[in-house]
């Protein structure tokens, strides 16, 4: 019930291309879905987040698409740049009880090549 499954494990995209990372969750109590970006030697940092009352959220080149019925959400990075090379984690969180703590996916290592 607490799992968040993330794919792919690693991704190589050419500069200017679109990077897509997918996540699926099981816990229907989750109502907050953040994405974190982690560079080598740094801790994860919040990148963008969505709540299930909307199907899409866009911030600059980063977009979250959310499908509540399928319990899936994805991160799209448009016009990917070498500076986007990092590990990306999706997560889910609910309001109360055991669901109130962030449950993370396993991470996707993105490499953007020139």
Does 92 engage in binding with other proteins (CB under 8 A)?
no
- The answer for residues whose C-beta is within 8 angstroms of residue 4's C-beta and 6 or more apart is 23, 24, 25, 26, 90, 91, 92, 103, 104, 105
Interface residue with other proteins, options 8, 15, 28, 42 (CB under 8 A) = 42
Q: How many residues bind other proteins (CB under 8 A)?
A: 21
Find the shortest distance in angstroms from Cβ 75 to other proteins. 16
- Tell me how far apart the alpha carbons of residues 29 and 62 are, in angstroms, rounded to a whole number: 25
Find the shortest distance in angstroms from Cβ 10 to other proteins. 10
Does 9 engage in binding with other proteins (CB under 8 A)?
yes
Phi, psi of 20 (to 5 degrees): -130, 125
DSSP 8-22: -SEEEEETTS-EEEE
Does 62 engage in binding with other proteins (CB under 8 A)?
no
Given the rule CB under 8 A, which of 12-20, 39-47, 53-61, 78-86 is the region that contacts other proteins? Answer: 39-47
């Amino acid at each position: 019930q607490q799992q968040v499954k993330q794919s792919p494990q690693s991704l190589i995209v050419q500069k200017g291309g679109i990077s897509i990372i997918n996540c699926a969750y099981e816990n229907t109590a989750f109502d907050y879905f953040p994405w974190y970006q982690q560079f080598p030697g740094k801790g994860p940092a919040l990148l963008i987040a969505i709540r299930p009352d909307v199907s899409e959220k866009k911030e600059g080149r980063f977009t979250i698409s959310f499908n509540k019925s399928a319990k899936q959400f994805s991160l799209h990075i448009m016009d990917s740049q070498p500076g986007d090379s990092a590990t990306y984690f999706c997560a889910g969180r609910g309001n109360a009880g055991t669901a109130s703590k962030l449950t993370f996916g396993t991470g996707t290592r993105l490499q953007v090549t020139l």
